[in-house]
């Protein structure tokens, strides 16, 4: 055999080897269904997001114990975008293009969701987003399982303005400086104006992520509340900034009976590291509280404690949103008989899951859930006593009726409509 022939034979053998290796990789990939988990495990949002990663691992483990999905095991692919918004986009692209995930569960802040949105739309990925947000968005590649403003912010303000909430006449809007607080407060300001609250009776303030010095701002709130009108605070402060904020409320003696604070991003997990004694009576608005007494919730909590091996670990609203979204995705995959994103998307519409608070969650064609709205008071043990609840589930709105340019829009992703920002049909 000549040198040229030997060289060709070696090349052929190498090619066969590479092909075999690639074939093994493809076969290996086909043996599992990969599920992306895109939550910050470090940085300012880790206080809220780490537990959502743990919740997803529990849900995946539980599904695998039931036999997996379509005859395959689910394989979690966990990445840490580290509370770095551009890094969220990089990690999302990695999950879809490199890891080949069938679906991703993740993000907390709206700025992280806005960061990954072009990636999911470009690559036709599927994201389940589990946290309350400002609305004003509708993507065919995202299912929004957290609360829209009409499922949290609006009912919370109604409570504060009503007799049960103390009939507030002045409102302080405190938020972290990014899209969710600013857009939510734009909606709330319009809503408050419609309810007879003038701009002079609305104080609005924004602080950076991780803000720690609240002394001046809390003093300004006290001054604003000292002018003879019942005052309440609506908080869209996110992440670990909540810890020094609530400590400063206690330091300055702000009690719930004097100036109630209703929070949209503080739940059981955020309170776990605080002395909640001085915070008793302050409020939070969610669609779920750990204290809800239902068989479904008791089972969820029992499984959570068994999985996490810590009886003191709490559950919270975004965990329930992941629970609902994951179960709906599993049902949709089973119905479609495939993990193909387009097929699963169509199968998602009308999916129902018994929520953990009683009643049934429904996925609507605008990619938002029907959910109950609950308002809870902080108790000394860091749990919440439910003081208000809707009689039935509320359908989430993608577009707010209180922003003029949005009020005329609707979202409906079922064929042949397939539009997230179309004008509402006129009859």
Return the beta strands (E) in 271-313 as ranges.
Answer: 283-286
- Whether the model clears a pTM of 0.85, i.e. scores above it, the answer is yes
The reported pLDDT for the residue numbered 18 is: 40
- Measured between alpha carbons, how far is 255 from 216 in angstroms, rounded to an integer? 17
Q: What is the mean pLDDT of residues 85-107?
A: 98
pLDDT computed for residue 13 by the predictor: 45
Sheet (strand 231-236) strand order = 202-207, 170-176, 231-236, 261-263, 283-286, 374-378, 384-389
The pLDDT assigned to 22 comes to 40
Q: Where are the domains of the chain?
A: 32-147+294-359
Which residues pair with residue 127 across a beta bridge? 104, 142
Contact (CB, 8 A) for 318 and 130 = yes
Mean pLDDT computed over 255-261: 94
Whether 17 has a pLDDT exceeding 60, the answer reads: no
Query: In CATH, what number does 32-147+294-359 get?
Result: 3.40.50.2300
pLDDT at 248: 95
Average pLDDT over residues 273-291: 92
């Amino acid at each position: 055999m000549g040198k040229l022939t030997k060289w060709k034979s070696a090349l052929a053998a190498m090619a066969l080897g590479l092909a075999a290796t690639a074939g093994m990789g493809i076969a290996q990939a086909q043996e599992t269904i990969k599920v992306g988990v895109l939550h910050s495990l470090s940085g300012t949002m880790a206080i809220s997001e780490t537990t959502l990663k743990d919740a997803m691992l529990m849900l995946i483990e539980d599904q695998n114990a039931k036999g997996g999905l379509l005859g395959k095991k689910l394989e979690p692919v966990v990445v840490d975008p580290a509370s770095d918004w551009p890094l969220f986009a990089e990690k999302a692209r990695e999950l879809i293009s490199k890891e080949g995930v069938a679906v991703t569960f993740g993000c907390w802040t709206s700025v992280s969701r806005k960061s990954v949105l072009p990636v999911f739309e470009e690559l036709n990925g599927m994201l389940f987003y589990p946290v309350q947000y400002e609305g004003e968005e509708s993507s065919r590649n995202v299912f929004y399982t957290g609360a829209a403003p009409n499922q949290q912010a609006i009912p919370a303000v109604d409570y504060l303005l009503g007799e049960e909430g103390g009939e507030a006449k002045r409102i302080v809007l405190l938020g972290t400086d990014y899209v969710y607080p600013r857009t939510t407060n734009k909606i709330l300001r319009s809503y408050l104006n419609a309810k007879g609250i003038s701009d002079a009776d609305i104080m609005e303030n924004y602080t950076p992520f991780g803000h720690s010095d609240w002394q001046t701002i809390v003093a300004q709130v006290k001054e604003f509340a000292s002018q003879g009108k019942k005052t309440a605070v609506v908080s869209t402060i996110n992440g670990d900034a909540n810890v020094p904020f609530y400590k400063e409320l206690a330091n300055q003696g702000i009690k719930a009976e004097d100036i109630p604070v209703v929070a949209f991003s503080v739940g059981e997990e955020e309170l776990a590291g605080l002395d909640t004694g001085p915070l008793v009576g302050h409020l939070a608005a969610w669609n779920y509280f750990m204290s809800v007494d239902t068989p479904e919730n008791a089972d969820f909590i029992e499984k959570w404690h068994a999985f996490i091996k810590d009886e003191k670990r709490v559950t919270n609203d975004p965990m329930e949103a992941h629970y609902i979204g994951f179960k709906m995705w599993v049902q949709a995959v089973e119905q479609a008989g495939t993990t193909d994103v387009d097929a699963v998307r169509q199968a998602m519409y009308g999916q129902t899951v018994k929520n953990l608070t009683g009643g049934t969650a429904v996925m609507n064609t605008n990619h938002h859930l029907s959910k109950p709205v609950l308002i809870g008071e902080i108790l000394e043990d860091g749990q919440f006593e439910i003081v208000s609840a809707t009689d039935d589930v509320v359908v989430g709105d993608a577009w707010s009726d209180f922003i003029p340019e949005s009020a005329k829009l609707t979202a409906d992703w079922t064929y042949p409509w397939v539009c997230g920002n179309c004008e509402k049909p006129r009859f």
